[in-house]
Structure 1
């Protein structure tokens, strides 16, 4: 779906809408769905819902136009990404409340995040309709089934949901589907043979000619799968997409290394259960001195990502939107990603059938990063989180009581011979090690005797 003409696009004001009868409280209490706890988010949802209930729909849209009008110029993509993580379990109705909030309860970054997430979900629904429709015997039947599914889908929209799309929502979707059907018919004669050829090329290049079964992403990080290559977690849809990339790469002199790295990033995403098994690095990682660490993309990559996420091509691309959201978030992917964000943007635009921002000739030769600074930037906070000082520290068999330990009355009783280990001690003389734990005269355990005295 082309959302460039929708009422809530990020780079244009919302046009006034003709008066619509005041909507009912259809959305009241929807924030109780999805097990949202009594939290600041639940409170903000409640406040935004109450503000919406006090307005007529035409006033609601005017409020957006006059007060908010978010633009990509002043909205931080980092803030949008953070909001998306916070909203990932929200329903479509809850996202509508956030995106259309007239009270200022939610920031422009949060509204844009909710708006984009709503449209990504809607695009996924349309994709399922298309997959079912193209299975029909004729293009007429395919178009009819898609229209029927789309009509039912749109009629299920709430009053707020219909404000999330343009007045031409159904017409645009139907035209795009009809265009795709026409293109498929034109390519049918040679398409099958070419598809088989490039699928075989993909299997040969990635799997050495023997395609493995798709591994379960749920068990991707189990002990038995730790050493399994990410390629094996690529789904059938992923592999079909990659075969199309090989066809494009061969016809446009693209270095296949770009495709390898893209496949590795996508496979790694699948292996970690679509990214769910990876933690947010920027929340709770510190260096040895207590400085909090933060990872971000390079300036070049971040500029590419910002353009990609703001482009209309994103919604029309066949590349998994969940993967794109994951790979463009530095806290989850900056340390592990191998691929080129410029190539990712290029393929998003190619699969969306839009003019690429970067020509294919730029990808004729893959250049590996010379060092980590070309892949990501690591910074540390000025403030230090103080770690508790231990009572006793031990190094190479020698233990000492720290100042804090002495303040706490800790003592460590040991004679000079208690820790005189033989330089020739090895795995066959473990008994000697055990014997040296004991004081030869008192037969008492000299190691950590302070524990018994506490």
Structure 2
């Protein structure tokens, strides 16, 4: 995962603290993995500046319908609550990233868990509900892949110069033959730990407990 190398020093310090906090809370660390991956991807794309924006009316399906993407109602409500919350003002998690990933024109097709991110924002801020526990909702990882709303225009068009055909594959239930979700997540987590200068969680926690930042 080359994106991990794009994380800033502050990003890595925060993620180390988030991993430790989530582990102490009994949360599935897959939620932290997803947050780390999303943040690293944002950094790799020049803080989102070179990330293609959706919903500009220039993407078509194979039949000529214009394609638009948006959050589910639940994700939209959480995203709105995040950007309007007090915790956003003082959180250690990059505010530019938060506003970027909660914008449906950028984050609707693939984003980390907003409910978990909201907990992180508040926990690592000087405002918000810092002492609110994670709770049992995050004890087992639940993927949000393909959890978005896809809307087609009623009319059909002939794409012109600069327009693109939708490249998203249809939602599938089949799994890769030799890879598992857990193995992929473990590989990603290992990559992020190495990027932060640690070989394992034990070495990460040892550093944190000793206060050597």
TM-score, scaled relative to structure 2:
0.68
Q: Is the 8 A contact 2:123 2:131 kept in 1?
A: no
- 1:345 deviates by 0.7
- 1:254 deviates by 1.8
Aligned to 2:34: 261
Q: Measure, in 2, the Cα distance between the counterparts of 1:305 and 1:320.
A: 15
Aligned to 1:236: 9
Q: Measure, in 1, the Cα distance between the counterparts of 2:157 and 2:75.
A: 31
Secondary structure, aligned partner of 1:360: coil
* 2:105 matches 1:326: no
* 2:21 matches 1:251: no
Secondary structure, aligned partner of 1:336: coil
* 2:115 matches 1:342: yes
Secondary structure, aligned partner of 1:318: coil
Distance 1:298 1:356, change over 3 A: farther
Higher relative contact order (CA 8 A, sep 6+): 2
* 2:137 matches 1:365: no
Alignment map for 1:303-452 (pairs within 5 Å): 303-337=77-111, 339-353=112-126, 354-355=128-129, 359-361=133-135, 362-369=137-144, 372=146, 375-387=147-159
Aligned to 1:273: 46
Secondary structure, aligned partner of 2:63: coil
Distance 1:308 1:387, change over 3 A: closer
Alignment map for 1:55-134 (pairs within 5 Å): none
Aligned to 1:152: none
Distance 1:387 1:313, change over 3 A: closer
Secondary structure, aligned partner of 2:59: coil
Cα deviation 1:138-196 (Å, max 9, x = unaligned): xxxxxxxxxxxxxxxxxxxxxxxxxxxxxxxxxxxxxxxxxxxxxxxxxxxxxxxxxxx
Q: Measure, in 1, the Cα distance between the counterparts of 2:61 and 2:95.
A: 33
Q: Measure, in 2, the Cα distance between the counterparts of 1:336 and 1:230.
A: 16
Q: Measure, in 2, the Cα distance between the counterparts of 1:341 and 1:308.
A: 8
Number of paired residues?
157
Q: Measure, in 2, the Cα distance between the counterparts of 1:237 and 1:387.
A: 43
- 1:320 deviates by 0.5
Q: Measure, in 1, the Cα distance between the counterparts of 2:131 and 2:157.
A: 44
Secondary structure, aligned partner of 2:34: helix
- 1:356 deviates by 5.9
Query: 1:285 aligned to 51, 59, 64, which one?
Result: 59
Q: Is the 8 A contact 1:286 1:293 kept in 2?
A: yes
- 1:368 deviates by 1.8
- 1:387 deviates by 4.9
- 1:276 deviates by 1.0
Q: Is the 8 A contact 2:122 2:130 kept in 1?
A: yes
Cα deviation 1:36-95 (Å, max 9, x = unaligned): xxxxxxxxxxxxxxxxxxxxxxxxxxxxxxxxxxxxxxxxxxxxxxxxxxxxxxxxxxxx
Secondary structure, aligned partner of 1:295: strand
Q: Measure, in 2, the Cα distance between the counterparts of 1:327 and 1:231.
A: 17
Q: Looking at CA atoms only, which structure, 1 or 2, has the larger radius of gyration?
A: 1
Q: Is the 8 A contact 1:346 1:357 kept in 2?
A: no
Distance 1:364 1:382, change over 3 A: same
Q: Measure, in 2, the Cα distance between the counterparts of 1:311 and 1:304.
A: 10
Where does structure 2 lack aligned partners over 5 or more consecutive residues?
161-213
TM-score, scaled relative to structure 1:
0.33
* 2:66 matches 1:302: no
More helix by share: 1
Q: Is the 8 A contact 2:59 2:66 kept in 1?
A: yes
Q: Measure, in 1, the Cα distance between the counterparts of 2:30 and 2:5.
A: 18
Q: Measure, in 1, the Cα distance between the counterparts of 2:132 and 2:149.
A: 24
- 1:385 deviates by 1.9
Distance 1:387 1:240, change over 3 A: closer
